[in-house]
Structure 1
């Protein structure tokens, strides 16, 4: 499995963003997206800290089944990191933990 975190800039607020977790599995040598989910609420992140150098505070995965995934992102430099969000990946599907 491969995982990606992608910042998506808000269409209504240029300072806001959403964060998307995507899961990909290999099928005959080709990576295919099997699921996606928002980390937090839509447009609940600040765009500039989320896309900066130190945006990822923690990102952890495991090869166990179901696979745990934890994510913590920078809210702002003065506020610090977000609480950890936990997910489980069960057969390529994201299940909130």
Structure 2
């Protein structure tokens, strides 16, 4: 999937496995699409505007959370770098920043 390659570039310095997340989301969407004429899935009928909008909102939520997590990781890396430059012990930084 070409779009996944672009996301991989964006998240290459992140601990987020964007390829696996994309596989889960796209696989779920494929399944919902293939299953839509049989019956609602998990009580959601994507043939209705309400059901379709629920799936859209869920995807938007996931995308926002993924980007937020990426931003959090970037900020932690910046903090760790500043602490290291200030002479703070590396083990203290690891415990404090990365848990």
- What TM-score, normalized to structure 2? 0.22
- Choose between structure 1 and 2: higher helix proportion: 2
